[in-house]
Amino acid sequence: MDQRKEFISIIIPAYNESARILPSLRRLGEYLHGHFRGFELIVVNDGSSDNTEDVVVRAKKELPSIHYSGYKENKGKGYAIRQGVALSTGDIILVSDADLSTPIEEVEKLLAHYDNGYSVVIGSRGLDARSIVVRQPWWREFMGKTFNWIVRMLLLKGFKDTQCGFKLFNGNIGRELFRETTVDRFAYDVEILYLAVKAGYAIKEVPVKWLNSPDSKVRPLRDSFQMAKDLVRIRSRKNGLRRR
């Protein structure tokens, strides 16, 4: 890929990622250097109980493009991403998981559609099964498919996979959308897409390569219950807007 004229902000939510975030940051820096006019790696430490903060702060000496933010209490992935987006300055915003389950090179697939006029481009594991290089355990796949089915029934009919952690936004539009979000945990993806649809922005879902990490932070019972509550909140918000 030739060097692009844009400055890109990469938002990386991190919860107990001390063992794997440094290689990810190095890989991001290696790839982005020369591919964009400039870049920033915004790491938001979501109340980690390990030494994630120490690892990232030390990494800043090696990679000055890192911007670190953190707080003591674990508040959720959606909250962390909202904080990171608020700090961003990029023409383009990319949200990425700390483990790079979707390799950074896959951003080229998203950018191809961004260049064709889409303001929001989301990576997907649901459009092409061949893109899943390392699969999740069967119970997590079942949870994910069930959740996406419920999302399609209640809120968003046109998306196969709302939960892939690899999403690209026009910078100004991304900051505008995230200022409106209220969901702090894993269902943030549904809320941000719902807001983008409501605002009339062009959205594209794109199959991307994906490798499951065995060190998932998802807690099946607690997180499933919380995601169900969040869907009800988003649907209530939708119904409230209709009444007005």
Structure tokens at 213: 């990490």
**pLDDT at site 214:** 62
At residue 69 the predicted structure's pLDDT band, cuts being 50, 70 and 90, is: very high
**pLDDT at site 211:** 85
What's the rounded Cα separation, in Å, for the pair 58 and 85?
22
At residue 186 the predicted structure's pLDDT band, cuts being 50, 70 and 90, is: confident
Predicted structure pTM score? 0.85
**pLDDT at site 226:** 67
Of 4-18, 67-81, 178-192, 212-226, give the lowest mean pLDDT range.
Answer: 212-226
At residue 94 the predicted structure's pLDDT band, cuts being 50, 70 and 90, is: very high
61 CB burial (10 A radius; 0-12, 13-18, 19+): exposed
> Tens digit of pLDDT for each residue in 26-52?
999 999 998 999 999 999 999 999 999
> Tens digit of pLDDT for each residue in 107-147?
999 999 999 999 999 999 877 655 565 555 644 665 666 76
> Tens digit of pLDDT for each residue in 188-243?
999 999 999 999 999 999 999 988 766 655 555 555 656 667 776 776 765 554 43
| pLDDT above 70 for 71 | yes
**pLDDT at site 234:** 74
Intra-chain end-to-end CA distance of the chain, in Å: 47
On whether the CB atoms of residues 9 and 92 are closer than 8 A, the answer is: yes
**pLDDT at site 244:** 38
Q: What is the CATH T-level fold of the domain 4-243, as seen in this structure?
A: Spore Coat Polysaccharide Biosynthesis Protein SpsA; Chain A (3.90.550)
| pLDDT above 70 for 154 | no
**pLDDT at site 135:** 57
- Using alpha carbons, list the distances in angstroms from residue 221 to 18, 119, 139, 140, 224: 25, 34, 12, 11, 5
Burial letters 131-144, b for 16+ CB under 10 A, else e: bbeeebeeeeeebb
**pLDDT at site 228:** 65
**pLDDT at site 216:** 55
| pLDDT above 60 for 86 | yes
**pLDDT at site 217:** 58
Report which of residues 228 and 182 the model is more confident about.
Answer: 182
On whether the CB atoms of residues 133 and 209 are closer than 8 A, the answer is: yes
Structure tokens at 39: 């870049």
**pLDDT at site 141:** 67
- Cβ count near 203 (within 10 Å): 19
